[in-house]
Chains A and B, each alone.
Chain A
Amino acid sequence: MATHEVTFPVTDPAEILKLRAGDEVTVQGHIIGIRDRTQIRIFDQGIEPPMDLSGAFLLHTAPNVRKLGPGKYEKLCIGTTTSARMVRFTEPLGSQYGVRAICGKGGFPDEAIEPMQRLGMVYFAIVGGAAALETTQIEEIEEVAWEELMPECLWKFRVKDFGPLTVGIDAHGGSLYRDVQSRAFERLEEIYARL
């Protein structure tokens, strides 16, 4: 299991292809916060996002913030939500907008593996609930769009040493979640036999 540092947005697909399920990754640069209602607006209501998502790192989040002025927010506590609810947006995020990484907690079900492999995307696992630490790694909220969806807006954060993240699903068809789940269900069969 290797360790990597990756700066987003990425322009070179090789940056994504070098990552393997289980690897540790620290992220620099800019990441974009997105959530259920944000993606429902983009894909179900067909409204173009007012931010460039190509090569982007998307974070499943709805932050605690304090409003400072028009379009300007101070971070209070920023953490990460469960990804599985939003798995159906994976394919169009990659094929229509060129998103390269999706980060959340709890993993994506197996239906994300094929589009991520085909489109050269990865899923990063963050530690759910570790928001106090995550907040210190976000330097600034640089941009906010769709404020009426508060707190499920589109957020642009500048980050420093964001992580440690674990590659949950890589761009080569590897998924830690699939492997762990299939082993766990095999073990359950052994356990059931003993009950």
Chain B
Amino acid sequence: MSVVATDLDAAVADAAAHLYVWALKDIPQDLRDALADAAGRETSIPGQRVLQTILRNVTVAEDEKNLVCQDTGIAVYYCKVGEHFPLHPARIYAALKEGTERATVEHPLRSNTVHTLTRENTGPNVGYRVPIVHWDFIPDWDGLDVKCVPKGSGSENMSFLKMCVPADGVTGIKKFVLESIVGAGGKPCPPGIVGVGIGGSADYAMHLAKEAIARPVGTRNEDPLVAQLEGELKDLLNETGVGPMGLGGDVTVLSVHVEHADTHMTLNPVAVNYQCWAARRASAHIAADGSIEYERDA
């Protein structure tokens, strides 16, 4: 789908408004395939009941043009900004905020954002430092990529950080991921994507874990060592028997995605961020002239 806009602020706001609602309604093909594959191999009765209900729900959402899940989440955007993109990130942020607000009011979507101390609802899914936007800057490019990942609270509440020590090694990393996901049980709506961030610092490890869940299901890290860890963790987690919605079964996770950063010689941070089975995401590429290309599966 292509839209030509003359005003870049408006183009970014339009893209955000469209992406937020689209992500909530139309889950990507890689996720649909992974869920169908899960249903093909699940042998437990409650597990099979859950997966069949999930597949039916995805179809009903399409037929009824409704949201897949009622939790419209906290709006998270990943932006890749080209060095020569003509709109400054400060303006991009304002436009993303405006788009989020407009989508919430016009659809209308449930507003989830509250003041963290008073718990009062701030209004249309925006507030102080919300939406949450992550930035990457790309040299020698004049475009903007925006990926919207509405993040539900059921899965976000199942986020875990451990500052392992170097002597814990890779075994310590694996144990922490395993105990976190088994401990989470059915709460984060399994089977989903387990995001793992290792290295960097405490905050950066969690950032990486979150980035990992935004990848298409089943993609593998470019680093073969990390990719091997992803495959191994997936197999081990599916041995635990937690199963769909924690009711017992063969499929506990659809995929494990690991992102890493180099770290201090005395640090070994491990962060786990869970993404539910309704792993919603949608992307747009905005050119310097304001034209927008939408892509569901990026």
Question: Do A and B form a real pair?
Answer: yes
Q: Which residues of A contact B (CB under 8 A)?
A: 1, 22, 24, 37, 61-64, 66, 76-82, 84, 105-107, 125, 127-136, 150-151, 164, 166, 168, 176-177, 179-181, 183-185, 187-188, 191-192, 195
Which residues of A lie under 8 Å from residue B119 when comparing CB positions? 37
Shortest Cβ distance from residue B287 to the other chain A in the assembled complex, whole angstroms: 33
In the complex, whether B49 has a CB less than 8 A from a CB of chain A is yes
Q: How far is the CB of A159 from chain B (nearest CB, A)?
A: 15
Q: Which residues of A contact B157 (CB under 8 A)?
A: 82
* A132: nearest chain-B partner, CB-CB: B61
What A residues does B71 contact at CB under 8 A?
A: 79, 81, 129, 131
B154 with A127: CB separation less than 8 A:
no
Q: Is the CB of A176 within 8 A of B239?
A: no
- 30 pairs across A/B with beta carbons < 8 Å? A62-B70, A64-B72, A64-B109, A77-B66, A77-B67, A78-B70, A79-B70, A81-B71, A84-B187, A106-B187, A106-B245, A107-B246, A125-B46, A125-B186, A127-B50, A128-B69, A128-B186, A129-B276, A131-B70, A133-B56, A133-B60, A135-B70, A166-B49, A166-B245, A168-B247, A180-B248, A187-B240, A188-B240, A191-B178, A191-B240
**Distance to closest chain A CB from B79 (angstroms):** 26
For window 173-194 of B, CB contacts with A under 8 Å fall at: 174-175, 178-179, 182, 185-189
Q: Mark B37-73, 1 if CB is under 8 A from A, else 0.
A: 0000000011001100110111011001011111110
How far apart are the CA atoms of A151 and B112 in the complex, in Å?
9
B108 beta carbon closer than 8 Å to chain A: yes
Q: Whose C-beta in chain A lies nearest to the C-beta of B181? A: A184
In-complex Cβ contact of B68 among A24, A129, A150 (8 A): A129
**Cβ of A81: which chain B residues have Cβ within 8 Å of it?**
71, 153-154
Are B110 and A62 neighbours in the complex by a CB distance under 8 Å? yes
Chain B residues with CB under 8 Å of chain A are 45-46, 49-50, 53-54, 56-58, 60-61, 64, 66-72, 108-110, 119, 121, 152-154, 157, 171, 174-175, 178-179, 182, 185-189, 236, 239-243, 245-248, 276-278
Q: Among the listed A1, A24, A107, A136, which residue makes an inter-chain contact with B64, where contact means beta carbons less than 8 Å apart? A: A136
Residues on the B chain within 8 Å of A106, using CB: 154, 185-189, 245-246
Check B174–A195 contact: CB distance below 8 A.
yes
A interface secondary structure, majority:
mixed
Inter-chain CA distance A179–B186, complex, in Å, is 13
A187 touching B70 in the complex, CB below 8 Å, given contacts A66-B108, A82-B187, A132-B57 = no
The 7 A-B pairs with the shortest beta carbon distances in the complex, nearest first, are: A79-B70, A132-B61, A106-B187, A130-B57, A131-B70, A128-B189, A129-B69
Q: Decide: A176 near B236, CB < 8 A? Known: A64-B70, A136-B60.
A: no
Complex CA gap A185/B240 in Å reads 8
12 additional contacts, CB 8 Å, given A105-B154, A129-B278, A176-B46? A1-B45, A81-B154, A129-B69, A134-B70, A135-B66, A166-B245, A180-B243, A181-B182, A184-B241, A184-B242, A191-B178, A191-B239
Bound CA span A129–B66, Å: 12
What CA separation (Å) do A185 and B189 show in the bound complex? 19
Residues B66 and A192 in contact, CB atoms below 8 Å apart: no
Q: Could you tell me if A191 and B236 are in contact, using CB atoms closer than 8 angstroms?
A: yes
Q: Is the CB of B276 within 8 A of A187?
A: no
CA distance A80 to B246 in the complex (A): 15
Cα–Cα distance between A128 and B242 once the two chains are bound (Å): 15
Which residues on the B side are within 8 Å of A105 (C-beta)? 154, 186-187, 189, 245
Query: What CA separation (Å) do A89 and B178 show in the bound complex?
Result: 30
Residues in A whose Cβ lies below 8 Å from that of B276: 128-129
A191 to B67: give the CA distance in the assembly, Å: 38
Residues of B within 8 A of A129 (CB): 54, 57, 68-69, 71, 152, 154, 189, 276-278
Contact of A107 among B68, B185, B241 (CB under 8 A): B185
Partner of A125, one of B70, B188, B247: B247
